[in-house]
Amino acid sequence: MSTETTASAAASGNAATDRFRQSGKTTSIAADVERVNLLASKLIKAANDIVLEERVSYDEFNALKAWLIQVGEDGEWPLFMDVWLEHSVEEVATDHREGNKGSIEGPYYIPEAPEKKSPAKIEMRDDEKGTPLLFQGQVRSTDGSPLSNAKVELWHADEDGFYSQFAPNIPEWNLRGSFIADEEGNFHIDTMQPAPYQIPTDGACGQLIAAAGWHAWRPAHLHLKVSAPGHELLTAQLYFPGDAHNDDDIATAVKPELLLEIKPATEGSGVQTTYDFVLDPEAK
């Protein structure tokens, strides 16, 4: 590794935990007694059913207790929740949509990235490694009308699979940006193709993956949030054809309609892709 400080599970996990605490996502949670009773009772019953059915031993019970403590110490609760549970929450939240259904947000989104008017180049290092990627398309409403000045937020890993602000020695807004589409809803963003992402192997989630004999990979992906006035915010991920893990993403977040079509760049080096987004009008 060329960097002086290497990435660690606890550093990225604790950064994700701090981010989540600052996100404001928990401020509107209403403590509805009936609902908490229902959900907590079902969760506890499901766990007890497993203990009884599988005759879980004290050694196994204590291993779980130690592991849960470690998840917290490594700051990996956001990672755990987003890898193993968020996909079902996303499914429930978006199953009414006629436009894009999207995919999970994951633990590494940061709001308010530097805003640029399309066409634009995302922030990257002068010597950023990888294959240049032109990502373009149009944002429309479900009735087909273009959404002028739609906003396309893009964030993704670098060629080493690391995200800025969650791994050391990467400029703050590297490979993160907020792009304003033109009057016809068209956007044109120059970026760099991301690498597949591996769940950190030196933290509690990595320990579980190894102990269970699973693999730790997510396929290479772009993260997006697409928004326009009067429309539902779309959170999505887009994937690259041929990636070995498109069919067995550890986060279960790949959908066939989220696969890009990649072509050689018509100008300059690298590749290009076109992907259009369709946003649902907000329910009245």
Which residues make up the interface to ligand MBD (CB under 6 A)? 79, 82-83, 104, 106-108, 197, 218, 251, 253
Bond preceding residue 119 cis, omega within 30 of 0? yes
**Distance, CA of 39 to CA of 20 (rounded, Å):** 22
Using the minimum distance from each CB to ligand MBD, give the nearer residue, 60 or 257. 257
Residue 20: its H or E element: helix 9-22
Using the minimum distance from each CB to ligand MBD, give the nearer residue, 218 or 231. 218
**Interface mask (CB under 5 A) for Fe ion, residues 68-107, using x and -?**
--------------------------------------x-
When CB distances to Fe ion are compared, the closest residue is 106
Contact between 219 and Fe ion per CB under 5 A: no
109 binds, among ligand MBD, Fe ion, none (CB under 5 to 8 A by kind): none
Using the minimum distance from each CB to ligand MBD, give the nearer residue, 82 or 123. 82
Using the minimum distance from each CB to ligand MBD, give the nearer residue, 84 or 186. 84
Q: How far is the CB of 232 from Fe ion (least distance, A)?
A: 22
Q: How far is the CB of 104 from Fe ion (least distance, A)?
A: 9
When CB distances to ligand MBD are compared, the closest residue is 106
- Identify which of 149, 142, 155 has the alpha carbon closest to the alpha carbon of residue 109: 155
Q: How far is the CB of 86 from ligand MBD (least distance, A)?
A: 7
Using the minimum distance from each CB to Fe ion, give the nearer residue, 13 or 106. 106
82 binds, among ligand MBD, Fe ion, none (CB under 5 to 8 A by kind): ligand MBD
Q: How far is the CB of 222 from Fe ion (least distance, A)?
A: 9
Beta bridge pairs of residue 188: 136
The phi and psi torsions of 272 (rounded to 5 degrees) equal -145, 155
Q: How far is the CB of 36 from ligand MBD (least distance, A)?
A: 26
- Using CB under 5 A as the binding rule, the residues of this chain from 126 to 145 that contact Fe ion are none
**Distance, CA of 41 to CA of 36 (rounded, Å):** 8
**Distance, CA of 235 to CA of 260 (rounded, Å):** 16
104 binds, among ligand MBD, Fe ion, none (CB under 5 to 8 A by kind): ligand MBD
**Distance, CA of 204 to CA of 77 (rounded, Å):** 10
Token pair, residue 6, equals: 């290497």
Count of residues making up the chain:
284
Q: How far is the CB of 78 from ligand MBD (least distance, A)?
A: 9
Using the minimum distance from each CB to ligand MBD, give the nearer residue, 120 or 222. 222
Secondary structure in 3-state letters for 220-279: CEEEEEEECCCECCEEEEEECCCCCCCCCCCCCCCCHHHECCCEECCCCCCEEEECCEEE
Using the minimum distance from each CB to Fe ion, give the nearer residue, 86 or 232. 86
DSSP assignments along 70-114, one per residue: HHHHTT-HHHHHHHHTHHHHHHHHHTT-SS-------TT--SSPP
- Compute the half-sphere exposure of residue 58: CA atoms within 13 Å on the CB side of its CA: 0
Q: How far is the CB of 215 from ligand MBD (least distance, A)?
A: 13
Residues that bind Fe ion (CB under 5 A): 106
